[in-house]
Structure 1
Amino acid sequence: MFTVNDTSAFSGGVEDVLRQAGVRLVSWQDVQTNQVAYDLVLSASENIDFQDVTKHTVVLPHGLGFNKFVPDSNGGGTRLAGLPPEWVLRADKATVVLSHPEQRQQLSTACPASEGRTEIVGDPTLARLLASLGLRDRYREAFGTKGRTLVVLTSTWRRDSLLGKWQSLPSRLMAELPADLYQVCLAVHPNVWSFYGPAQILWWFSSALDAGLLLLPPDSGWQAALIAADQVITDHGSLGLFAAALDKPILHTGASAEIVVGTPPDELLSETSELDRNTPLREQLDHCRSVHRPGRFHHVTDRVFAHTSEADTNLRNLIYRRLSLTPPSDALSLHRFPLPEPDLRAVTSYVVDTVGVEDGALSLTRYPAAVRPDRNGRATHVVADETERDVKILERAAAIVRDRPLDVSEAHQWVTSALASHPGARVAITATARGGLAVVRGGVVVQIGMADSHRWVFGAASVVYCCWLSGDLRDRQVLVCVGSESTSVTLTWNFAVGEAAP
């Protein structure tokens, strides 16, 4: 049976998660009034009302160790996160689960009452992460990463967290990193989701989401994201330690006054570089990956993880022992983390560096227009899909795009109408069954031959615009390159619509 001790400010949404899981849910009031019969309590928090439970409690970790101080809800000051009240330990009302022997010594020093009240189990989550490494390509496929560099941001809660210190970081990354070379993913602590509510978080990051930010739900996906990541930007939270255990290049957003000096997160932050908001971010990210060496964090993670392969069995044995039952003899199965089902928004507009064709090729560098990238004086143009919601972006667009194919007569009607509807645009282009059709303001029609027109119509729009801007209106074939991908585009200027359909 499951229950929620909902006195916490962060308990919002927990009952919804449990109901969706299909478990039997009983009220905390029934537990308080002894209306529920039970033999053991498993708690993911050390901050429950222990006086209301009549059986022994196994306190499961919801982080990696005892690494930070948090406000004490029972009085002024702070307390060590993860450690139950001293009176609970003295009364032998709880057993605290540990992932490493070092934590036992730490707790013994901080709270002598914890001696004999802890159990070294290991960390079942790391075991599942390691077992899931073979699914890395499938995770990246599910995220839509393709050949891009996946940058994962992980934020704990409170003011010293990544978002507490630098809430605009996701948007700034989206604005500075070329969209065809990088993907940005954000994992936010469930306490933030619970306290503010999903709507507030979606409002905070609305522009970044329109720009392609991958925002993970509060209860899943971060495990797949860490495995899929090419590098991680973190704070003093536990996900940074998991990233270190997976050998990822790591940057951080600064130290925290909450952190316990000398603990593994403290050491990890001292061993990694802080992201400098006064320096271009791409340079820092690329440098971090270039200097990373496999195994550089082993001396930190060796202080966090022990008995990893036996963690599930150790935990099961502890529970059965507390129930005075004999554990099953069969081995436990280790389940890999499922493929994520992310909510991916299509990017509907780009700011594109305006360049010329060189040696028959056009290399495009694109940034999502939704985050208003600053190109520092570089010549740019905006390519916007017809479905773009932001009117200001549409007003700035040099090219209007439709990626759903039309036949040639319908295509000509659409491009003509699109230019009339968007007086600031210079080009309108739509996909067709075998390529595309564009019209340049003034009436010049361009036939475009290309494969997979649905995917490449944005790139073709930039080709037409850049050629028109330079006055190079020759019929020609151009190799269009975006990120790690390229395709060949054939331009036929002054195309007569009555000729064979493209």
Structure 2
Amino acid sequence: MLCHNQTSVNRLLEAQDLFRGDFRVRFVVVLGEASRFGSGVPRLLREAGVDRVVPWHALAKERYDLALTASENVDFATITGPVALLPHGLGFNKTVPGGLAGLPDASALRTGRVHIVLSHPDQEAQLRATCPEAAGATLVTGDPTFDRLVASLPLRAHYRRLLDTTGRRLVVLASTWGGESALGRRPDLPRRLLAGLPADTYRVALVAHPNIWAEHDARQLAVYYADELDAGLLLLPPQAGWHAALVAADHVITDHGSLALYAAGLGRPLLLTGAADETVPGSPVDDLRHAAPRLDPSGDLVAQLSAADPSETRAVADRVFAHRGEATERLQDVLYRLLGLDPPDGGPALRRAPDPTPLGHHRVSAFRVRVTSRSPGVLAVDRRPAAVHPPSDDRHLAVEETESNLRLTEKASVIYRDLPADPATADTWAASMLDAFPFATLTATDAGRGRCLAVARDGTRIVLTSSAPHPEVPVLASVAHHCLLAPGPSALTVDTGHSRAPIRLEITRPG
């Protein structure tokens, strides 16, 4: 296995699973020559249990029957015997200096030893028109990754639960790498999405290309997007996250990368961040650009997400994914044929999408909240994460007592905690918080049995009783703040978009 960068390593490790249980096959892992995006490759290999790695300069001393690679940028001249070039993306949709991304140099193809694995017959015609030497060097198997995604769809509820999206809509922002990518054009796009979408109705996940992770590493990305992580961003590492995110997604926002085609194939409503000059004219990605609406980051995000129609883009995927449901078996047959072996009986395993492991994810503990009377007796609560949403006159700041950014706590109108407390303990806690944070108007805590006790600076006490199985103290705290300033009926319905529950209020004013 010829490992070049993180993208190729991930693909090769997936392909290695096609040989499980076969003692006839032994793998030699070769680390390629220095790549701009080679950072993290040794770590990925170690995490996969690969302890013996051969440097590229020692490849000539190794004996092997088949070379597996997922990069066209390896030195094919130093490789003896047949080579299977697995795709690291979907087709040939991008131009690079000298030709198409994913296509080896013509001199390598002239040897007759390089076999390019494709996901659709249309790619054969494209390569022959671009590089006549590709004729006879292609093998169409379909796309095992797409089959894996489709097979994982019945587990959608499982992945949504792991991503904490139950009752909310999951927006996946996916970015390829480079200056024309979603993050290359707008590195603040995650922030805009988090600030522009109601926190109780939407969750936002970011899937960044492995080359972005290689260029910046996990710690740097966590620093870049520290506020967004505080605002609830799900930052998904490339080896364990994007598959599950696409299965779980309700909406996908992306660029000209391969994930746009996967999203279209899965029937996900799609918004694109813009066109790229490097896109090959007439390619599926180019067709997708004409079929999918373009995101306006400054516009009404909810309206744009709601208007996206998957029927407009799903047909494009028909030009990308051939042999659906058969790709894993077909790829296994191809690789064993190149080895001169019969594949094992029973066919290969079809692995479900791995569970997602968001980086540095934690619960949002500070919100800019707007409470409005939508109709008589109905209060609409719109919460936006304070870490990314600027102050505004029509919103108050509500902060949990454990909020890590004390600058927010110092400016909060409402301080709450989700810890159950008896009235005496709640009063003591309220007095200490109101004394420590002079800007606060009101505190709120869980009073048990579906009740929330709010204590105002002027001594007013508000008990809110909810019929919901698990009343949300952060929401009830903001309702109490609204009712303190704008008294209304004692029976209300609170609508967060995520949930709708009736509550009763008992307000006791001092004196």
TM-score, normalising length: structure 1: 0.90
**Aligned-partner SS, 1:370:** coil
Contact conserved, 1:403 with 1:453, CA < 8 A, in 2? no
Cα shift at 1:330:
2.2
Instruction: Decide whether aligned partners of structure 1 residues 357 and 425 sit closer, same or farther in structure 2, where only a CA change above 3 A counts.
Output: farther
**SS at structure 2 position matched to 1:125:** helix
Candidates 131, 150, 155, aligned match of 1:111 = 131
In the alignment, does 2:339 pair up with 1:323? Answer: yes
Amino acid at match of 1:238: S
Shift of 1:437: 2.4
Match for residue 500 of structure 2 among 486, 489, 493: 486
State the Cα deviation string for residues 57-114 of structure 1 (Å, max 9, x = none).
Answer: 11100100011023xxxxxx34311111111111123111111111111111111111
Is residue 353 of structure 2 the alignment partner of residue 353 of structure 1? Answer: no
Give the Cα–Cα distance (whole angstroms) in 1 for the partners of residues 375 and 139 of structure 2: 66
Q: Using the TM superposition, give the Cα deviation of residue 250 of structure 1 relative to its aligned residue in structure 2, in angstroms.
A: 1.0
What amino acid sits opposite 2:84 in the alignment? V
Alignment CA distance shift 1:345-1:37 (3 Å): same
Aligned pairs, how many?
A: 481
| Code of the aligned partner of 2:436 | S
Provide the residue aligned with 1:372 in structure 2.
389
Matches within 5 A, 1:207-222: 207-222=227-242
Letter in 2 for 1:95: H
**Matched AA of 2:366:** S
Are 1:45 and 2:45 matched, yes or no?
no
Distance 1:38 1:24, change over 3 A: farther
Shift of 1:134: 1.0
Of 236, 241, 260 in structure 1, the residue corresponding to residue 280 of structure 2 is: 260
Which residue does 1:395 correspond to in 2?
410
Q: Give how far 1:356 is off.
A: 4.5
Hey, what's the Cα distance between the residues in 2 that align with 1:447 and 1:477? Answer: 12
In the TM superposition, 1:226-305 aligns within 5 A as 226-288=246-308, 292=309, 294=311, 296-305=312-321
Going from structure 1 to structure 2, the CA distance change for 1:386 and 1:78 (only over 3 Å counts) comes to farther
Aligned 8 A contact 1:31 1:52 in 2: no
In structure 2, relative to structure 1, the CA distance for the partners of 1:237 and 1:293 (3 Å cut) is closer
Residue 428 of structure 1 is matched in structure 2 by 443
- Matched position secondary structure for 1:416: helix
Per-residue CA distance 1:137-183 (angstroms, 9 max, x = gap): 22212211122222111100000101011111111111111111111
| C-alpha contact (below 8 Å) 1:450/1:489 kept by paired residues | yes
Q: 1:462 to 1:49 in 2, by over 3 A?
A: same
- 1:307-327 Cα deviation digits (max 9, x unpaired): 122211221111111111122
Report the AA paired with residue 36 of structure 2: A
The DSSP-based 3-state class of the residue aligned with 2:444 is strand
- Preserved contact between residue 368 and residue 385 of structure 2 (Cα < 8 Å): yes
**Aligned residue for 1:499?**
none
Q: Does 1:458 align with 2:469?
A: no
1:441-465 CA-partner distances (Å, limit 9, x unpaired): 1222333434679751111111211
Read off the aligned partner of 2:507 and give its amino acid letter.
Answer: W
SS in 1 for 2:29: coil
Asked if residue 193 in structure 1 is aligned to residue 222 in structure 2, the reply is: no
CA apart distance, 1:128: 1.1
The change in CA–CA distance for 1:426 and 1:278 in structure 2 (over 3 A counts) is closer
The farther-off stretch of 385-394 and 335-344 is: 335-344
CA contact (8 A) 2:445 2:473 kept: yes
Contact 1:356-1:470 at 8 Å conserved across structures: no
CA distance in 2, matches of 1:191, 1:366: 34
Alpha-carbon distance, 1:413 to partner:
0.8
Q: Which residue of structure 1 aligns with residue 8 of structure 2?
A: none
Matched, 1:3 2:30: yes
Helix, strand or coil at the partner of 1:491: strand
1:123 matched to 2:143? The reply is yes
Are the equivalent residues in 2 in contact too, given 1:68–1:81 (CA < 8 A)?
A: yes
Q: What is the match of residue 6 of structure 2?
A: none
Unaligned runs of 5+ in 2: 1-27
Deviation at 1:33, TM superposition (A): 4.8
Aligned to 1:438: 454
Q: Aligned ranges for residues 3-152 of structure 1 at < 5 Å?
A: 3-29=30-56, 31-34=58-61, 36-70=62-96, 77-152=97-172
Deviates more, 1:328-337 or 1:414-423: 328-337
Taking only the aligned residue pairs, the percentage that are identical comes to: 42
The CA distance in 1 between the partners of 2:101 and 2:326, in whole Å, is 25
Secondary structure of the corresponding residue to residue 371 of structure 1 = coil
The counterpart of 2:433, out of the listed 414, 418, 425, is 418
How far the C-alpha of 1:293 sits from its partner, in A, is 5.3
CA distance in 2, matches of 1:193, 1:210: 20
Q: Give the CA deviation at 1:53.
A: 2.5
C-alpha deviation, 1:209, in angstroms: 1.3
Matched-pair contact (CA < 8 Å) for 2:396–2:413: yes
Instruction: Identify which range, 93-102 or 441-450, moves more after superposition.
Output: 441-450
For residues 242 and 148 of structure 2, the distance between their equivalents in structure 1, rounded to whole angstroms, comes to 13
Q: Aligned partners of 2:421 and 2:507: how far apart in 1? A: 19
Matching residue's letter, 2:138: T
Mark the CA change 1:495 to 1:454 in structure 2 (over 3 Å): closer, same or farther. farther
2:243/2:354 contact within 8 Å kept: no
Deviation for aligned residue 1:6: 4.3
Partner in structure 2 of residue 73 of structure 1: none
- Aligned-partner Cα distance in 1 for 2:497–2:249: 18
Deviations along 1:188-227, one digit per CA (max 9) or x if unpaired, are 0000000111122112211111111111112122111112
Which stretches in structure 1 are left out of the alignment for 5+ residues?
Answer: 71-76, 497-502
